[in-house]
Amino acid sequence: MSAARDLVVDARCTRGALALEANFTAGPGVTVLFGPTASGKTLTLRLVAGVERVERGAIRFGDATFDGDVHGARAFIPPRDRSLGFAPQDGALWPHRTALEHLTPFTDASRAKELLERVGLASHAARKPERLSGGERQRLAFARALSRERAILLLDEPFSALDDAARAAMGAIVTERAKSGVVLFVTHDRAEATRLGEQFVLFDRGKTITRRRLEE
Amino acid sequence: MSASQSLFTSLRIVLVALVFVVPLGAAIGFYLARRTGPFRAVVDALVIVPLVLPPSVVGYLLLVIFGRRGPIGALLDDIGVRLVFSSAGASIAAGAVALPLMAKGAEAAFARVDRALEEVATANGLGARETFRVVTLPLALPGLGVATTLAALRALGEFGATLTFAGYSDRTATAPLEVYFALQEGRDARALALSLALVGASVAAALLLRRWSQR
């Protein structure tokens, strides 16, 4: 594993009742974050995204320290400079913009249309989120996260509202992207986790264990 | 001076006031919505001062600052600009009392924007300016429209600060001032006509507000 493209998470952060101590290394490929609700998966993703701050420890990617201590000094790289694609749990779609307009801030119109087609939303390009179903919204949030070639893809239960066929199709896109970068994939679904994951980080009340297989 | 002329004078003075009230108030509102700490608390307290002070006091304070002997007024006087008895002075008086409504309205508008919608923009690679343009501003726009309308109405209805600071002259004879002086001079019909026009403008603005807030 080339350390230059490894994401190293060694971060402590407390939010309400949750005391997170995340400790894992994710290389290129799909790393599945697995565990019960409120065990720290989403917070971990938000720390890597840079929309929450690490309290102790650090998050590093290759030579860069995203957040945390470097030789005694505090480092923080803002989210936009981390080369991320991020699909948060509820999608966080923009109510005032059409499906196509969710992608055009990040990429040109022709590639945006191509992406919508890949996730099966070509005919809904002019629709705003309120006119999309739950599954369509998730696919749009996923497409937005893919709209630039990024080093790290952060997907928080991206396909929970999709049927099996759509899940498999979207999963294939994730697998393809994982050849060229780090993917952190949060899911509750054991079958999906097993199908996509090359490595598993098991969360339990804020603590993490890394496994090569999901079954112990 | 005719009654309709004073309405145009009012309109011109309000529009000029909005040119500085809207961007300045929106900027203060954005700052108030996004920052915490002691300095924010000071700004928050200062910004509502013109709203709670008697307008005559606001006018007097403007006179102290912008009058010919005031720190800014003296500088302006050197380059030949006099605000007292001028239409620009009336705009400053109207703007001073309208600014708090713009700033507090803009604060509410920006505070209502879901931070998660901005986070997803920046985490996917947009810079601060782009995030503001793509997400924050369009989502705050209806609220900014409401704030602008309220500020405009407050500026339109301004009486005390205008009279104290800008005085009553041909160039500063706004509709509210005309109503007052028409009554003083016993021209009741004129006062009534102007009052009805102002009521009409307020109702129209209220209907506009309804449209914005329903979006």
Per-residue model confidence as pLDDT tens digits over B172-187: 889 999 999 999 999 9
Query: Which of chain A's residues have a Cβ under 8 Å away from the Cβ of B120?
Result: 86, 88, 92, 141, 144
| Second-level CATH architecture of A3-211 | 3-Layer(aba) Sandwich (3.40)
pTM assigned to the model? 0.87
Helix, strand or coil for residue B198? helix
**Sign of torsion over alpha carbons A164, A166, A168, A171:** negative
The CA distance from A134 to B23, in Å, is 38
- Which residues does A169 contact at the CB level (< 8 Å), separation at least 6? A120
For residue A49, what pLDDT is reported? 96
Q: What ranges do the domains of chain A cover?
A: 3-211
Mean of all residue pLDDT scores within chain B? 91
CATH number for position B58: 1.10.3720.10
B138 in contact with chain A, both atoms CB, cutoff 8 A: yes
ipTM of this complex: 0.92
Q: How far is A89 from chain B (nearest CA, A)?
A: 10
Among the partner residues B117, B124, B139, nearest to A85 by beta-carbon distance: B124
Whether residue B120 and residue A88 make contact (CB cut-off 8 A), yes or no, is yes
Query: Which of chain A's residues have a Cβ under 8 Å away from the Cβ of B127?
Result: 80
The parts of chain A modelled with pLDDT lower than 70 are 1-3, 216
Give the DSSP letter of residue B54: -
Among the partner residues A84, A96, A141, nearest to B125 by beta-carbon distance: A84
Residues B95-121 have a mean pLDDT of 96
Give the DSSP letter of residue B2: -
What residue of B is the nearest CA neighbor of A81?
A: B125
Query: Which of chain B's residues have a Cβ under 8 Å away from the Cβ of A84?
Result: 123-125
Neighbours of B75 (CB within 10 A): 11
Whether residue A92 and residue B120 make contact (CB cut-off 8 A), yes or no, is yes
Long-range Cβ pairs for the range B61-69 (8 Å, 24+)? B62/B89, B62/B92, B62/B93, B62/B96, B62/B161, B62/B164, B62/B165, B63/B164, B63/B165, B66/B92, B66/B165
Whether residue B123 and residue A154 make contact (CB cut-off 8 A), yes or no, is yes
Whether residue B123 and residue A80 make contact (CB cut-off 8 A), yes or no, is yes
Among the partner residues B123, B134, B135, nearest to A84 by beta-carbon distance: B123
Query: Which of chain B's residues have a Cβ under 8 Å away from the Cβ of A43?
Result: none
For residue B215, what pLDDT is reported? 58
For residue B75, what pLDDT is reported? 86
The CA distance from A44 to A41, in Å, is 5
Whether residue B116 and residue A88 make contact (CB cut-off 8 A), yes or no, is yes
For residue A141, what pLDDT is reported? 97
Domain of B210? 3-214
Q: Binning pLDDT at 50, 70 and 90, where does residue B1 land? A: low
What is the Cα Rg of chain A in Å?
17
Neighbours of A14 (CB within 10 A): 13
Per-residue pLDDT tens over the stretch A5-48: 899 999 999 998 899 999 999 999 999 999 988 899 999 999 99
Query: Which of chain B's residues have a Cβ under 8 Å away from the Cβ of A50?
Result: 122-123
The CA distance from B37 to B22, in Å, is 25
Whether residue B123 and residue A97 make contact (CB cut-off 8 A), yes or no, is no
Strand ranges across the sheet with A182-187: A73-76, A64-70, A56-61, A7-15, A18-26, A207-211, A199-204, A29-34, A182-187, A152-156, A84-87
Are A61 and A151 a contacting pair, CB within 8 Å? yes
Q: How far is CA B11 from CA A122, B145, B202, B212, in A?
A: 49, 18, 13, 22
Question: What total number of domains does chain B contain?
Answer: 1
Q: How far is A69 from chain B (nearest CA, A)?
A: 21
The CA distance from B141 to B110, in Å, is 9
For residue A23, what pLDDT is reported? 95
Whether residue B123 and residue A90 make contact (CB cut-off 8 A), yes or no, is no
Per-residue pLDDT tens over the stretch B55-80: 999 999 999 998 888 888 888 888 88
Q: Which of A63, A65, A18, A10 is nearest to A37 (CA)?
A: A18
Among the partner residues B124, B126, B139, nearest to A145 by beta-carbon distance: B124
Query: Which of chain A's residues have a Cβ under 8 Å away from the Cβ of B144?
Result: none
Query: Which of chain B's residues have a Cβ under 8 Å away from the Cβ of A86?
Result: 120, 123-124
Helix, strand or coil for residue B166? coil
